[in-house]
Structure 1
Amino acid sequence: MTTDVEIYDARIELIDYCIDALWDTPDESFLETIVAGEIGLPEDSVNDRLDAGFEHLRAFREQNADADVDSLHDRLNREYTSLFVGPRPPIQPHETYFREDTEFIGQGLAEVEASYSAAGWTPPEDYGEENDHAAVELAFLRYLVARQRAGVEEAFGYERVFLDEHLTTWVGDFADAVTEESAEPFYLAAANVFAGLVAFEDEIVAQMT
Structure 2
Amino acid sequence: MNDEAIYTARLELIDFLIEAFWDAPTEAFVADLIEGEVELPEESVTPEMDEGFAMLESWIERNRGEDVADVRDELEREYTRLFVGPRPPVLPHETYYREDTDFIGDGLVAVEESYAAVGWEPPEEYPEEADFVAVELAFLRHLVDRQRRGEEEAFGFERVFLDEHLLEWADAFVDDVREKADPGLFLAASLAFGGLVTFEDELVAQMVPG
TM-score between both structures, scaled by the size of structure 1: 0.97
Q: 2:204 aligned with 1:205, yes or no?
A: yes
Which runs of no fewer than 5 residues in structure 2 stay unpaired? none
Written as runs of structure 1 = structure 2, the 5 A alignment for 1:8-157 is 8-157=7-156
Runs of 4+ in 1 over 4 A off after TM superposition: none
Please give the alpha-carbon distance, in whole angstroms, between the structure 2 residues aligned to 1:100 and 1:39.
39
Q: Which letter maps to 1:187? A: F
State the 1:188 CA deviation: 1.0
Q: Which letter maps to 2:164? A: E
Please tell me whether the aligned partners of residues 146 and 154 of structure 2 are also in contact (alpha carbons under 8 angstroms).
yes
State the 1:37 CA deviation: 4.7
How big is the alpha-carbon RMSD for the aligned residues of Structure 1 and Structure 2?
0.9
Which range moved further: 30-39 or 46-55? 30-39
Aligned to 1:6: 5
Could you list the per-position Cα deviations for residues 37-93 of structure 1 after superposition, in whole angstroms to 9, with x for gaps in the alignment?
533101211111101100110110111012110000000000000001011111111
**SS in structure 1 of the partner of residue 189 of structure 2:** helix
State the 1:184 CA deviation: 3.9
Please give the alpha-carbon distance, in whole angstroms, between the structure 2 residues aligned to 1:67 and 1:114.
44
TM-score between both structures, scaled by the size of structure 2: 0.97
Please tell me whether the aligned partners of residues 37 and 61 of structure 1 are also in contact (alpha carbons under 8 angstroms).
no
**What is the aligned-residue identity percentage?**
58
Please give the alpha-carbon distance, in whole angstroms, between the structure 1 residues aligned to 2:38 and 2:167.
25
Please tell me whether the aligned partners of residues 156 and 205 of structure 1 are also in contact (alpha carbons under 8 angstroms).
yes
Which runs of no fewer than 5 residues in structure 1 stay unpaired? none
Aligned to 2:157: 158
